[in-house]
Amino acid sequence: MSDLLRSWWVRIALATSALALLPAAALGAEGEDFDPSLEFKLEPYVPIELGPIDLSINKAVVYLLLSSFIICAGAIFVVRGGLKMRPTRAQNFVEILYEFSEEQVAKQGLSARTMKTWFPFVAALFLFIGVNNIISFVPLPISHEVGAFPWGIPDLGLYAATANINVTLTLTILVFVATHYVGIKYHGVGGYLKTWVPHGAPGPIRPVIFVIEVLSQLLRLVSLSVRLFANLLAGHLLIIICAGFTILVGSFIGVVAIPIAAFFWIFEWVLVAGLQAFVFALLSGIYIGYAADPPH
């Protein structure tokens, strides 16, 4: 178990760091008055433009790199400390994450012949998205404006990189490409396309079923990306609006919004953050597994 965990955990950490850089290339600066949406405004900290491609380091990129650093640093800390027969708390936590990623996420969708190759990818998706979601509800001094802190430190704020459609769509495109790569690898182009139509389907309706399957494949780009993006965006907007209501109204009436904001914060942090990472990774594994071994 120790050697297997060390090998897979390092591969997961490396895959996670790669996932952090891919969405960063898709992030651009967005275009003031109190407005909750300004919390999602992306001003470039370090402008980097290569022709029409904007590679600027902004708040979303910082969060992506931060989450990647947390995962990689945690993996290195556990592995460098040595894996023990009587595990430490840190090793226990990592083993729980590993077993959950393997048993409850990867094995639910990946087939036996895709498990070895694609488990690190699916597990990295789960951890990367999960950590991004969790730290998005931790107040950090990575805000769009400088406030009362000395030395020009930005105000504390909440931000979710996964509430940016560029990030979620980029991750979804990775899954989309991986799915069809696996299908073509195991079946060939023609054989893979044949798997999109059930063997027992009558001849006249086969073209109709094929067109529906093509649409369903394309709609996966929308369903995977928008589900994650919309859930995180909605949760953060609810918290920000409640906090803004307290500031704008003041007095006793405004204070009523504080427990409401706290409720949404707890609900999103405890339930939605992990659940959305689980759903995204689970569906990714199912798509890849079904491409290799169609259920029909």
Instruction: Give the model confidence (pLDDT) of 21-76 as tens digits.
Output: 555 555 544 444 555 555 566 777 788 888 888 778 888 888 999 999 998 888 88
**33 burial type by CB count under 10 A (0-12 exposed, 13-18 middle, 19+ buried):** exposed
Percentage of the chain modeled with pLDDT above 70: 76
CB count within 10 Å of CB 88 equals 13
Q: How far is CA 56 from CA 68, 129, 136, 234, 288, in A?
A: 18, 21, 20, 26, 32
Q: How far apart are CA 206 and CA 275, in angstroms?
A: 37
The encoded tokens of residue 219 equal 């709609």
pLDDT surpasses 80 at 162: yes
pLDDT recorded at residue 284: 94
Residue 158 confidence (pLDDT): 79
**Is the model's pLDDT at 9 over the cut of 60?**
no
Spatial distance between the Cα atoms of 278 and 197, rounded to a whole number of angstroms: 29
Residue range 6-12: mean pLDDT, rounded:
59
Instruction: Report how far residue 261's alpha carbon sits from residue 243's, in angstroms, rounded to the nearest whole number.
Output: 7
Q: How far apart are CA 117 and CA 101, in angstroms?
A: 14
| Residue 109 DSSP code | T
pLDDT of residue 28: 44
pLDDT digits (tens, 9 = 90+) for 228-245: 999 988 888 888 777 776
Confidence of residue 286 (pLDDT cuts 50, 70, 90): very high
Q: How many CA atoms lie within 13 A of 56 on its CB side?
A: 17
Computed from CA positions of residues 271, 39, 159, 230, in that sequence, does the dihedral angle turn out positive or negative? positive
Q: Per-residue pLDDT averaged across 246-273, rounded? A: 74
pLDDT above 90: percentage of residues in the chain: 26
Taking residues 100-127, report their average pLDDT. Answer: 90
Which amino acid appears at position 279 of this protein? V
Are the C-beta atoms of 287 and 114 separated by less than 8 Å?
no
Q: Quote the CA–CA distance of 234 and 265 in Å, as a whole number.
A: 11
The whole-number pLDDT of residue 127 equals: 93
Q: Taking the CB of residue 177, how many other CB atoms lie within 10 A of it?
A: 10
pLDDT at position 19 is 60
> Per-residue pLDDT for 153 more than 70?
no
Res. 209: pLDDT tops 50? yes
Please report the pLDDT score of residue 4 as a whole number: 54
Using alpha carbons only, how large is the chain's radius of gyration in Å? 22
- Which H or E run includes 30? none
Q: What is the dihedral of CA 89, 95, 100, 101, to 10 degrees?
A: 130
46 strand-pairing partners? 57
pLDDT of 181 reads: 94
> Which value, to the nearest 10 degrees, does the dihedral of the CA atoms of residues 290, 124, 97, 88 take?
150
Residue for token pair 């990189």: 161
Q: Which residue has the tokens 């990623």?
A: 101
Average pLDDT score, the chain: 80
Predicted confidence at residue 31, as pLDDT, reads 40
- Say if residues 257 and 245 touch (Cβ distance below 8 Å): yes
Strands 53-54, 49-50: pairing kind:
antiparallel
Residue 122 clears pLDDT 90, i.e. is over it: yes
Look at residue 252 in the predicted model and tell me its pLDDT. Answer: 63
User: What is the pLDDT at residue 145?
Assistant: 57
Q: State how far the Cα of 210 lies from the Cα of 98, in Å rounded to an integer.
A: 38
Q: Which of 161, 139, 163 is nearest to 262 (CA)?
A: 139
